[in-house]
Amino acid sequence: MSKTVTLEEIQDFKGKYPKQIWYLFLSEMWERFSFYGMRGMLTVFMVQKLMMNEKDANLRYGATQAFVYTMTFVGGLFADKILGFRKSVFWGGSLMIVGSFILAASPVNLFYIGISITIVGTGFFKPNISTMVGNLYKEGDPRRDAGFSLFYSGINIGALFGGLLCVWVGKSYSWNLAFSFAGIFMLFGLLIFTFTQRLLANIGLSPLPHHLSSLKKKVYEWAVYAGSLATIPLILILVRNTRYTDLFMYTVGPLTLLYIFWEMRRFTKAEQKKLWAALILIIFSIFFWAFFEQSGGSLSLFALYNLKDNMFGLHIDPNVINNSANSVFVILFSPLIGLIWLGLHKRKLEPNTVVKFGLGFLFLSLAFFAFYAVRFFADSSGMADMNLFSVAYLIISIGELCLSPIGLSIMTKLSPQRLWGVMMGLWFLASAYGQYVAGILGAGMASADDKAPLVQKLNAYTDGYKQLAIYALILGVVMILIAPLVKKLMQDVK
């Protein structure tokens, strides 16, 4: 294989995908294995081993998710300004490995420090590996969305296996082993990245100006490393004291927006318009994730209390379905949706990104109507089988495919290259807010009394799902109605 592959050669690929996408696919797949493996273990571990009550465990879980996705903004920002995407991915992946092995060494005693290191690491890894996918395509290449859809399948393959394996190993064998799995598979991902990065031409190299001396460059880079290490104790305090979470969330969002507005003034009017379009999509995505992320919260309790272990005649634990159905459907349907977009593109009928987002909300709405309708299939004790519940997961996954991979792709189309990391970070920051609002929505749905009869729980949750379905429908319609306006802001971008 040629060692001196150029960016043009990468971007002039024949066929559907550039081959470099597979390296990024595999690195991200193992990173997501580690991330979702860890995420799947958190609440169970906190309740069973740290003897936390459920409420505290839920709050702390929500906080870690929010902090992870907040750190992606920081990771994206410093990648754009100082480290470049490659070094950021390497640094983030290394921190994730260290965090996981610290947890593996002594999960109970070193829990908070291990989690905090992993949070900072994910912030550096996640946005920047995604941004590099965008780099494989020329501006205007219509194959970019399909590339991000493929990359998204990798995410979900990792998420599925990590989510199933780690918690199972932890519960039935050893938590030390389970946390070490997160570290070992992250190490795989990082090794793949390290050994294939030379095939990425100049993608993701240092953004620092050439005229800076190499000593100066080193000083800047080490300052970022040192600064990110210094953030770890801060995250640790925040994860331990969830009462600061609200304050944190209220301040970070507005500050970030101010920063983006400040950055925007350096760009031309046309570039600014595109950034406004990106911001509109990002703000809508907060609502999408707030509803979607019921899966980790209220839907898992709904599965626990109100669903029988029966799905189309098969006996399966409802929580296993709740935790894995989404990934399975994304993996299965991602190629199909990709083909549908391509087929529509050939007939000049492909909806633009804003309409796709709108469709995402319409599917989300339909899925929540289906979750609501589960109540009509419950017996007198308030228990239903999982048939409709699993169909609802299929629908929500199609909605996710209309919005999430396309969202990654559009961030790289609408932002000037100098802001790719920041905008990708901002895209994920919306997920942080989505997670945060999801927890609040879920808590609002739960019936106040833990010991309430199952029928009452069923009604409380499904009433909530009906509300969400209506709101998602409204948001979808609004999105489709404003599509022409946002399209104007997007100009030549589809």
431 binds ligand GLN (CB under 6 A): yes
What is the C-alpha to C-alpha distance for residues 429 and 137, in angstroms, rounded to an integer? 24
361 binds ligand GLN (CB under 6 A): no
Return left, alpha or beta for 312; rule: phi > 0 is left, psi -120 to 50 is alpha, else beta: left
Query: Least CB distance from residue 321 to ligand GLN, whole Å?
Result: 17
131 binds ligand GLN (CB under 6 A): no
The interface with ligand GLN within residues 4-33 (CB under 6 A) comprises 32
Entry field: residues in the chain: 494
71 binds ligand GLN (CB under 6 A): no
Whichever of 107 and 189 has its CB closer to ligand GLN, that residue is: 189
289 binds ligand GLN (CB under 6 A): yes
Query: Least CB distance from residue 36 to ligand GLN, whole Å?
Result: 7
Q: What are phi and psi of 315, to 5 degrees?
A: -100, 110
334 binds ligand GLN (CB under 6 A): no
Pick from 45, 357, 428, 433 the residue near ligand GLN by CB under 6 A. 428
404 binds ligand GLN (CB under 6 A): yes
The interface with ligand GLN within residues 148-177 (CB under 6 A) comprises 155
Identify which of 225, 244, 220, 224 has the alpha carbon closest to the alpha carbon of residue 234. 244
64 binds ligand GLN (CB under 6 A): no
What is the C-alpha to C-alpha distance for residues 373 and 377, in angstroms, rounded to an integer? 7
Q: What is the 3-state secondary structure (H, E, C) of 357-400?
A: HHHHHHHHHHHHHHHHHHHHHCCCCCCECCHHHHHHHHHHHHHH
Give the angle subtended at the CA of 1 by the CAs of 5 and 184, to the nearest 5°.
Answer: 95
294 binds ligand GLN (CB under 6 A): no
Query: Which residues have a Cβ under 8 Å from the Cβ of 292 and sit 6 or more positions away?
Result: 364, 396, 399, 400, 434, 438
Q: Taking CB under 6 A as the rule, which mask of x and - marks residues 213-242 in contact with ligand GLN?
A: ------------------------------
**Quick one: how many helices (H) and strands (E) in the chain?**
16, 2
Q: In the Cβ-directed half-sphere of 111, how many Cα atoms lie within 13 Å?
A: 20
Whichever of 353 and 431 has its CB closer to ligand GLN, that residue is: 431
Query: Least CB distance from residue 314 to ligand GLN, whole Å?
Result: 26
Query: Least CB distance from residue 431 to ligand GLN, whole Å?
Result: 3
Whichever of 152 and 368 has its CB closer to ligand GLN, that residue is: 152
**Which residues would be at the binding site for ligand GLN (CB under 6 A)?**
32, 155, 289, 404, 428, 431
